[in-house]
Amino acid sequence: MAETLYTIRQIADIAGVSKVTMYRYITENSFHETLMKRNAKMYDETTKNLILKGFSSRTVSSDSETAETVDVTTNLLKDQVKNQQLQLAEKDEQIKQLHKLLDQQQQLSLQDKNQVKELKERISELEGLIVAPDDFQEDTDINTPEEPKTSENVTDSSKKRKWFQFWK
């Protein structure tokens, strides 16, 4: 009677997993092939049963580990969502305060602008009241008689030249 031999692909198909997953499981658990046929590892019936038994127990424990991992991940994600909601609420409050401060700053700026405008108007009114210095002569110059301007005085001033105008 010929013994039935199975390839890694056939064992993986029976277990319902990929060939790569089955190959990794076989190498991790040190199962040795019964026969090597054209670079294909062949396993006998007893080795196949051991592989499937060990692989199915691994899959069951893996499922429970996966469920625990999912629960832990879910709890972490819920905590992150709560933290983000708290941060958003804090940011909303900060934005609200900043808008309030911005409104106050704009109001103060408008008041300052109006005050500057009023002060400019007041200055222009006061400038209108001030007597021009040309119109007003002080009595201090009464003792010194003013010289009448003559053509000699004018020509003397025009004859005065600067040091850089000697060639003219």
Each of the 168 residues of the chain gets a pLDDT tens digit; together they read: 567 888 889 988 888 888 898 888 888 888 888 888 888 888 888 888 888 888 777 655 556 667 777 888 888 889 889 989 999 999 999 999 999 999 999 999 999 999 999 999 999 888 888 765 555 555 555 555 555 555 555 455 556 767 776 666
Structure tokens at 158: 């025009």
Beta bridge partners of 35: 42
The residues, any chain, with a CB within 8 Å of residue 11's CB and separated by 6 or more, are 22, 43, 48, 51, 52
SS in 3 state form for 124-155? HHHHHHCCCCCCCCCHHHHCCCCCCCCHHHHH
CA-to-CA distance for 16 and 32, rounded, in angstroms?
A: 21
E strands, 53-111, are: none
Query: Could you give the CA distance from residue 29 to residue 60 in angstroms, rounded to a whole number?
Result: 17
Q: What value does the CA radius of gyration of the chain take, rounded to a whole number of Å?
A: 52
37's CB contacts (< 8 A; 6+ apart) are 5
